[in-house]
Structure 1
Amino acid sequence: MTDNSINKSVIRFGKILFKYRAVIAAPFFVILVVFSKSCHLQVLSSIFIVTGLILRIWAAGYIGEKSRENKFTTQYAIINGPYHYLKHPLYLGNFFLVLGVILLFCPPIWLGILIIILFVFVYLLIINSELNYLKDLPKKEMKFKLANAKGEISTILVMIFIFLIYIVAR
């Protein structure tokens, strides 16, 4: 296998992970709930979750509904707003959400670390595929529109659902 064919395989695998990224998280969340224990990290957890939500809403306000699709479809690379400072603000927002949920459920340290390692691995593959897709696209500045972030309502609802599960599991 040549380096080029390996890279193409990695890019293809990253696209598959991108398509199923929400579904991939579900079994890990169930495991997290099963292994959860009581601790007092709710404030720290909330800080990460709120930061993740704000970052996602800010980024989605520029990118719009493209952030909710299960394949790469954008016609340009956005270069302002959070994209001026971060290459992947939505993914960083996701990381903060995952970290906040891990802290909320307080699993054994090995499980929390394992989930973080798997998250980073999956998103590095997704980022590699996305960068390959974006590399030849024109750059464009967009205006922030709160209406563009309406898809983040589902993220907020998921976080509320997770919090309700936390309350019931305690």
Structure 2
Amino acid sequence: MNDDSSQAQDLRSLVFAQRGTLLALPAVVLAALGKPSAFSIATGLPLAFTGEAIRMWAVGYSGVTTRSDRVIAPKLVTAGPYAYVRNPLYVGNFLTAAGFAFAFTGKNGALPRALLVAGSLAAMLGVYATIVPHEEAYLRRTFGEEFDEYTRRVPPVFPLVEPAEPQQGSYDPEVIAAAESRTFLTFGAMLAVLAVKALRS
């Protein structure tokens, strides 16, 4: 591995380890600068809840390893949402972020709203564009042809209409509480801030 490749890998590892903090920054900006309206809340929150539901569905299959500071995969999961799209956690996160971005900015002017929404989602895309190759490199090293075959069947972002076969893995609802406690706290905090801002506006 040359120096450039090594540095790129180190950067991806760092971003992966700090992904929670990095993804929290746009939420803090929205909470500070957003001006919600009743309409923006009514249209944004269903999208946010849909994203969280997708995330919980994915975590039920992938388990608590999703909270690790480094990539861990005891097995290659290809069932549930992973039969439709390779990165359901990140698809769910993106929908949740988009929902909150719309919800928080209903009374912001057109340009500030566009900047807040676009900036929040661009920051998220930047993080994911860095860590997805890092994860996939690990999965390819670990599972080899099995992972390559999976990538040929299942797209990375835009889901299939019908689930791909074969599938392996099972849903375990018991991991949700342990794996998602931090997400639930963040989601709840965003709802609380949104409610306070709506009442004051």
**Under a length normalisation based on structure 1, what TM-score does the superposition of the two structures give?**
0.88
Larger radius of gyration: 2
Q: Does the CA contact (< 8 Å) of 1:76 and 1:137 recur in 2? A: no
Q: Which runs of 5+ in 2 are unaligned?
A: 147-166
Q: Does the CA contact (< 8 Å) of 1:56 and 1:152 recur in 2? A: no
Shift of 1:5: 4.3
Q: Does the CA contact (< 8 Å) of 1:99 and 1:116 recur in 2? A: yes
Q: Which amino acid aligns with 2:33?
A: F
Shift of 1:28: 2.3
Check if 1:94 corresponds to 2:93.
yes
Which position in structure 2 is the counterpart of 1:113? Answer: 118
Q: Which amino acid aligns with 2:114?
A: I
Which position in structure 1 is the counterpart of 2:172? Answer: 145
Shift of 1:121: 1.2
Which position in structure 1 is the counterpart of 2:197? Answer: 169
Count of aligned pairs between the two proteins = 168
| Among candidates 134, 137, 153, match of residue 139 of structure 2 | 134
Q: Which amino acid aligns with 1:87?
A: R
CA distances 1:42-70 after superposition (whole Å, capped 9, x unpaired): 12212211111111111111111001112
Distance 1:52 1:5 in 2: 38
Q: Which amino acid aligns with 2:191?
A: F
Check if 1:23 corresponds to 2:21.
yes
SS in 2 for 1:37: coil
Percent of paired sites with the same residue: 23
Distance 1:48 1:14 in 2: 29
Q: CA RMSD in A?
A: 2.0
SS in 1 for 2:142: coil
